[in-house]
Amino acid sequence: MHQNLNPRFTFASFVVGSGNRLAVSAARRSAESPGANYNPLVIHGPPGMGKTHLLHALANDAVANHPFLRVCYEPMSSFVDRLGSALSGGRMEQFRKECVQINLLLLDDAQFLAGSVRTQNELLPIWDAMGRNGAQVVLASDRAPADMDRLDMRLTSRFARGLVVDIALPDIATRTSLVLHKAEARGMRINDGVAPVLARVASGNIRELEEALDRVLALQEDRGAAVAADEVAHLLGVEEIYSAPLPPATRAWPASLGGGDAADNDLVLDDDPFATFLSDISASVAEVVESAPWRAVLGEAILRWGGKGIRTRRLEAALTGGSVPDVDALIEEFEADATRLICIGLEVAELDANAAGAAVLYDPDRRTEAEALLLSTRLACRPLPAPPAGLTLENLPGADVEYSHATTAAGPDRWYFNNEKVAWGWVGLGERVVEELG
């Protein structure tokens, strides 16, 4: 059973860049061994970033690896509608059985799950049963689970047990590669320099980039001649173009379009995003290693920590920057922050599973925020100190306590006190905060 899969969406046709590399790696591993690595896998990012493509690529690769796998891809809205129909029609037990038989469930636009309390309550036991059967669940959403309104904390906890990874806007090198790949897929040739210009002009999501390319290709077909690079801005109604120099790799054409041998080409798509990492950051492997060996060292560090789910923007910025950094000091500082984050994450997860998926726990540039999260989690989870021995309401220092024996029908044994003026919980709290901060 392979429901609703689009065979055109594969890893081979997915252009990998710095903004989606970790998501692609996680998807590949989930396809190789469904249910074994990241379960559930949650991929989030703005609309038009290729999340749907990545879900289908994962499913198609999983089917290729495991032909007898029962796979289902479905938009979350459709899945929720089917669940609602099963509830209203008294067919919920049958719906549960159908879901539990699935080995790989991929749900798109998962943000539509938020706010539907009954649906979430019904999904929890279904997903738990699928997990016990070793099934893999993959979700795509336009926001992180932590940013979904009215999402059941039990679901948030389950998401935290797997992997939550984002897809960011593509950088200029990735956008240029996308233009070249899309043009080649359409069997069209565009002039040298057009792809980099389109990459600069259409700086939004992938859909906007494709729309800009479609306009260029449509004009070429209409006039019967190629569009020149200096015509693109006027064609798209843009007055000025950001004119920063492009990395060397973005000027190359895929070998199939006459750009030279594949071995010498920087933008030839590869099935393995990690194998071509240094090329993917817009410089050929040969250039990087021969002219700047320090880049290879940084590249290895990025791969190592990125594979652990740690964001590596600090290292990537140094890798693509214009000056040569102090690599040893940079990596040492980064690894210290990353190692501390891992320790913080382990303690936070032990104290509160609902907080374990916080983005600050995976970003070394936000270590201060992670430390603050750990402190607040400790304070929230530990009980307040017990009152000193012998302290009673009569001798509570500074408290305005009113109590008396009641002389009414309520009886002489009932006590009354002004609870608006008594707050025992704050006694000693100042010392507690100082202790935690120290």
Instruction: Return d(Cα 208, Cα 193) in angstroms, integer.
Output: 19
Q: Which fold has domain 2-166?
A: Rossmann fold (3.40.50)
More confident residue, 128 or 426: 128
pLDDT at 438 over 80: no
Alpha-carbon distance values, 64 to 5, 57, 130, 255 (Å): 12, 11, 22, 27
Average pLDDT for 149-167 = 83
Counting Cα atoms < 13 Å in the Cβ hemisphere of 370 gives 25
Percentage, residues of the chain above pLDDT 90: 21
When pLDDT is cut at 50, 70 and 90, the band that residue 295 belongs to is confident
- Residue 409 confidence (pLDDT): 45
Cα-atom radius of gyration of the chain, to the nearest Å?
28
Average pLDDT for 72-97 = 92
Task: Tell me which residue of 286, 304, 302, 298 sits closest to 323, measured CA to CA.
Answer: 298
- Residue 396 confidence (pLDDT): 60
44-69 pLDDT, tens digit per residue, is 998 888 999 999 999 999 999 999 99
Cα 416 versus chain centre, distance: 54
Q: Which fold has domain 172-272?
A: Helicase, Ruva Protein; domain 3 (1.10.8)
pLDDT at 294 over 70: yes
- Residue 29 confidence (pLDDT): 92
Average pLDDT for 360-378 = 89
pLDDT at 126 over 50: yes
191-227 pLDDT, tens digit per residue, is 878 888 888 877 677 888 888 888 888 888 888 888 8
- Residue 323 confidence (pLDDT): 83
Give span(s): CATH 1.10.8.60, the chain.
Answer: 172-272
More confident residue, 72 or 403: 72
377-391 pLDDT, tens digit per residue, is 888 887 767 767 766
How far apart are the two ends of the chain, measured CA to CA in Å? 58
pLDDT at 15 over 90: no
More confident residue, 399 or 281: 399
Give span(s): CATH 3.40.50.300, the chain.
Answer: 2-166
- Residue 73 confidence (pLDDT): 95
Task: Tell me which residue of 131, 117, 120, 115 sits closest to 155, measured CA to CA.
Answer: 120
Contact 57, 320 (CB under 8 A): no
Instruction: Return d(Cα 316, Cα 301) in angstroms, integer.
Output: 10
More confident residue, 399 or 184: 184
- Residue 191 confidence (pLDDT): 82
When pLDDT is cut at 50, 70 and 90, the band that residue 106 belongs to is very high
More confident residue, 241 or 254: 241
- Residue 239 confidence (pLDDT): 52
Which residues make beta-bridge pairs with 136?
Answer: 104
- Residue 156 confidence (pLDDT): 82
- Residue 279 confidence (pLDDT): 41
Average pLDDT for 129-157 = 88
When pLDDT is cut at 50, 70 and 90, the band that residue 248 belongs to is very low
pLDDT at 91 over 60: yes
- Residue 228 confidence (pLDDT): 84
- Residue 184 confidence (pLDDT): 85
